Every structure is written in structure tokens, then in C-alpha cells.
A and B are shown apart, each in its own frame.
Chain A
Amino acid sequence: MIMGLLAAGSLLFGAAYAQDIVIGAAIAQTGPASSLGSGEVDALKLFEQQVNQAGGIMGHNLKIVVLDTASDPSKAVLDVRKLVSENNALAVVCCTTSPESLAVIDTLQRDQVPNISLAASASIVQPASDRHWVFKTPPLDSVMVTREVADMVAQGVGTVGFIGFNDAYGQGGLTELKKAAPEQGVDIVDTESFARTDTNLSSQARKLVNADPDAVLIWAIPPAGNVAQKALQDAGYQGVIYQSYGMTNETFLRLGGASLNGTRLSVLPVIVHDKLPGALPFASVVQDFVGQYQKTYGATPSSFAGHAWDAGLILQAAATKVLASTSPDDTAAFRSALRDAIEGLQGFQAVDGTFNFSPDDHSGLGSTSAVMVTVQDGAYQVVQP
């Protein structure tokens, strides 16, 4: 009995001293990207709760510290610095948007902290030689744009116009369109851009309508993407409108309403979780995530929540591997080992797809992560290939 008491005492003692695994998260909870960030925070909080209820990561409590970047790249840098120096985060999840994610790269590389970004632009993880510490969970915009251009060709589109943000996300989409369109025989007749905070896009819409393309590709996030589509329709555009995978949350469908019927976009598998072919190797991970999210929050998750969940899954898998040899007390060594472990993940099934990281590829997702859909009556219909 004394041995039992001693054992119990040492367990309690040990448990009390098991260091927390602290992950920092800098998310845009307010500002123009807030409709993306809110889903991400919900997913991170749910993930943390789940992991700790199941006993933590190898007995260590998971602690996710969330700071609000207000969709502002400068604030994102300050938040990340705070997470790294004050909270001693072992890894960081930053950020919601491409401009913010690009802004924090320097400081994270200097402080040698692994980062998983939830944003789209390819330049976040390319060139790989300059992005030793940065990974990302959303598929590369090249994957999504190529899928949309392939659909355009299938729809008989010969000319395309483009309108998007004048920052890393929008221009990333344009760069990929400029690569993918000529390859597949589609001509770009006009490109327009606007600032994230612009609310009046009628002039740009008019210019596009004058150019009369068969299709227009809008590369933005809600509500700006909605404003652009509305401006095009008000300017009398009759062709097909394509949106980006940055639009897939409930704000897009709620603000657009019936005017969205016929819009086409390539989305992440989680958006059409109930129509996924079971043969996809990651289908069960998607269903599990959607089920838990729906049970807790009473709503289907946006793709952004899926990106955040994947960041959690990746960090959990990497940390599990690292804890076997390194203690979280040694922050620098743990961060480095964590980075190596993430880079070594191969065939990792997650919500966004199957991740295959490598020293040259810190994005890890391929074309199975892009599903083509159309919007009909406030819901997405999968386009059969």
C-alpha cells in the first residue's frame, strides 16, 4: 500500500512537472480577414481540447496561445515576436493571410522557430532554400489555379479576365494564371486589381466587361470577392465567373445568395465532405474532423478551419516523434527537432489531403486536394470530371 501511495504520488508529481507543449497562433480574428480567422480559431481551440482530453501529446498538456493580428502584417510580426519570446512557443501557426505570412518569415527564420502558415501564396514556401523553417497547410495556389483553368478549357472558355487583390494572395493567383492559361490554350485579355479594403469595384468591373472575356477569375476573400462578383454582374457581365478557394466560408454564400448560381470554383475536399469518394485515402480524416466540428459548433467547418486543424495534426505527429528523444525544456533543440520531424512527414493523411513534405517541398499537397464545384442554391455541387 505504501508502494502504491508512493507510485501515485510520483505519478502526480511527474504529471505536475510534465512541461506544456506551447504552440503559438497568430490569427486574424478582426479586420478584413476575420471571416477566415474565426473558423481557424474555432478549429485550433477544438483541437487543443480534443488532444488534452485524450491525455495530451505523450502525457504533455497541449497549450495553444492565440493572438489577434487584425489582418495586419505589422501586427502579425509583433504577435509572433511576443509568442516566441514571452510565451516560449515551440512552434508557431501564422498566419491567416498571405501578406501576414510573408511578413513574419524573416523574424521566424532568425529566431529559428518552425512555422505552419494557413495562407495560400506559393511564395510563402518558395524558394525552398530560403524557407527552411516555414511550412504551410493550404494547397499551393498553382494547384488550385491549374484545376480551374482545366475546367475552363472543358467549358469551352477561350479568353479569361482576372480581378484580384493587389497583394500576395491576389497577385499569386495572377502569377499562376499567367503560367497555367497559356499552357492550356486560354488567353488572358484583361487583369484588374484592388486593395483589400476597397469597397467600390465598379470601375474595374466595367473595364473587364469592356474586354468581354468568356470567363472572369476573381481571386479574393469574402466579402471582397462578393463585392467583385456583384460589381461584375451590375456592370452587365454575362459570362462565367470563377472564384478562388479563398472564398469557401459561410460569408461567401450568405452575402451572395441567389446571385451566385452558376459560379465555379476549385475547393478543398472538406467543403464537399459529404460527397467525397471513399477511395480517397484521407476521406476518413475529413469525416472525423467535420463530425467533431459539427458536434461542438453546430455548423459545417470552412476550409480555413480545415487548414488550422491540419496544422494541429502535423504538429501533434511531429511532436510525438520528437518527444521520444528531446525534452520541451530545451526550447532551441526541440524547435529544431520539430522542424526536422515536420519535414520528414510522408504520406500523412490530413483534412486538406495527403501531405508529402520534403526539403524541396514545404507545401506537400498535390492535385487530389483540388475538387471542382459549382454553386447552386446556396450549396456546392461537385463537377463530375
Chain B
Amino acid sequence: MTAATALFLLVNGLTNGAIYALLGLGIVLIYNVTRVINIAQGEFVMLGALTAVGLSTGRAAGGLTLAVLAGAAWALVACLRRRLWAWLWLPVLGGAGLWWLLGALPAWHLPPLLAALVAAVTVAFVGAALYRLTIEPVAGAGEVVFLIITTGLYLGLQGLGLLFWGPGSFSFPSVHAGAIRAGGVRVSYQSLLVLLATLLILVLLWLFFERTLFGKALRAAAMNRAGARLVGISPSRAGIVAFAISAGLSAVAGVLIAPVTYATYDMGLSLGLKGFVGAVVGGLAGYPGAVLGGLAVGVLEAFAAYSTSAYGEAIVYGLIIPILLLRVLVLRRKAAMP
């Protein structure tokens, strides 16, 4: 292996690792705030990528339809909760009306950047709505229940992906075709965009959690749910925001990776699992850990595939067990110390 090859693999690994890092961030954020391990994280990536593809090429904008349905369901549940029987007609008719409107509008051909933004916002909304509809009603249940619920969400969302977009693969235009040469290695503009976007998102998230009141409230809700409620932070609202941010991050990751790997309805599972591996490597607790874990998984995958061709993925997934064992042993030793 020459230095040029190692550099190539490193750049490639970091690009994919950045995507896993975004996913890992989303998983850790949701876990910290709501104690939910989100198996459906990869599906938000798929929804983001395919919605952006649909909006820019005039195909079924399935994400928008899903958002309308989820929003109508959310409003319906809210009316029922508050026993506003007189208002029930609003979500039902409004949802039906918006659905009809989506179908009646001529096919949209948005520029890719706008399509990506709309897709990210739409999927963020869908994520929040799904939290409100599926997790929040059983907010006090154990982590295993949440795991099962999100597994059901993954299956349902993948099925909806197949329904809206069919089994085919779709490409999304790169931000700019072409590449730069750095240190003898060809780095495509798309890779640069992925790395820069991830960095930007990290900075924004850090500012949000450190400098804004709501961000601090989210961290408080993550640290101690009961204590947060006592000081007036609504755990429900915190959960909604956490899911919205996490789903939006995943959608952005989907739009970034779609030009490289082609978007298809079943792209979510392996991405979500690798993001989960990254989060586990980072300890499932801290955000820097999730990011470093994701990057490490990407780089490991690149080098493993170079050495062993088809076993790259197997090595990455096989990493979970030794990492978990290591963590248990380390934690036990720490707990044993005075």
C-alpha cells in the first residue's frame, strides 16, 4: 500500500464516515433526550434522499405526502387528546385537501439545492410527527419497548418508500462535477461538500446546545427527565425537537450521499446500522464520541474493503461486540474504583 493509496482510502473513508457521523449524532441526540434507540434512523436518510430526487425530477414527492398524512394524524390526535370534538373536521378535511392539492399540482422541477432544503425540512417534520404519534403516547415505557417501536417504524417507512418511489435506483446531481487534486489524490467536490457540511452542522449544533436556551433545556431533559419537568421543561416538546433535528440531519446526510451511491428505497438499513456502530464506538453518550466513532467506522470500512474486498461490511458490523465488551469491562473497573 503506497502513501497515495492510503491517502485515497483515508479521504474516502472520511467522506463516508462523515455521513455515519451525522447519523450517529442523530441517534445519540434522540437517545439522550428520549432514551429511544432509533432503528429507523436510516429511513430518514432514505426519505430525505428520495424526496429531494422526487422534487427535482418531478417524480412522486412521497415525502411531502407523508408529511401531510403525518401532520393530519398529529392534529387529529391533538384534537382527541384535548377533547376538541368540534375541531375534528379540521385535520381530516385539511389533510384530505392538502393531499389532493399535492396530487393536482404539476410535477415540480426544483433546483437541487432548494429540493434538498425542502426535503430536509419535510423529513424533520415527519420525524417530529412520528415521535408524537408513536413514542410519546408510551413515554414512560422501557427502552426495549422503544426499540421495538422504532423497528416497526423502520419496516413501515421502508414499505412506504417502496410504495412511493418503486424499487428502482435514482441519481441526484452532484453539487459540481469534477474534483481537486490534493497531495496526489483526487478529491471530488462532492466529498469536499460532505466534509464541510458535516463540520458546519457540528458547529451549529454546538452553538445550539451551548448558547441557546432551548439547547440547554434539551441537554437538561437528557440529563434528568424528572428534574427537567420540575423546572418547567416539557419532555414532550424536548422529544419533538430532538426527533426533528435528528431526522433533519439524516435527511441532509441522505441528500449529500445520494449523488455518490444512488438513492433507493432500501438504502436506509445499512446506513443506519453503520451510524449506530459509530455511535456505539463513541459510547452512545457524547456527541464528539459519536462523530469520531462515525469517522472511525468510515475509515475502517475503506481500509478493510481494500484488504479483503467483500468483507468490509462484515468487519464493521463485527466491531460492535468487542467494543461493547471493552466498554463493559472499562465501566466495571471505573465503578469498582473508589
Contacts and interface: CB of A to CB of B under 8 A. Distances in A.
Given A206-B5, A207-B306, A227-B261, A251 B313 contact: no
A348 interface: no
A227 B262 contact: yes
B8 A198 contact: no
Contact of B188 (A200, A207, A234): A234
Contacts, number: 81
Nearest to A70: B167
Given A193-B310, A223-B264, A227-B261, A203 B167 contact: no
Interface string A188-214: 000011110111111110110010000
A30 B162 contact: yes
Nearest to A226: B262
Chain B: interface secondary structure?
A: helix
Interface residues on A, range: 20 to 34
A222 interface: yes
Contacts of A251: 168-169
B169 A203 contact: no
A263 interface: no
B168 A195 contact: no
Contacts of A201: 305
B34 interface: no
Chain A: interface secondary structure?
A: mixed
B12 to A, nearest CB: 4
B224 interface: no
Contacts of A235: 8, 186
Given A202-B302, A203-B12, A223-B262, A210 B2 contact: yes
A261 interface: no
A381 interface: no
A235 B166 CA distance: 31
A38 B167 contact: yes
B9 interface: yes
Interface in B246-270: 260-262, 264, 266-267, 270
Q: Which 7 pairs between the two chains have the least Cβ-Cβ distance?
A: A34-B167, A203-B305, A199-B261, A203-B306, A223-B169, A166-B310, A202-B12
12 contacts: A30-B162, A34-B168, A194-B309, A197-B270, A199-B267, A200-B260, A203-B303, A206-B12, A210-B2, A234-B179, A234-B186, A236-B186
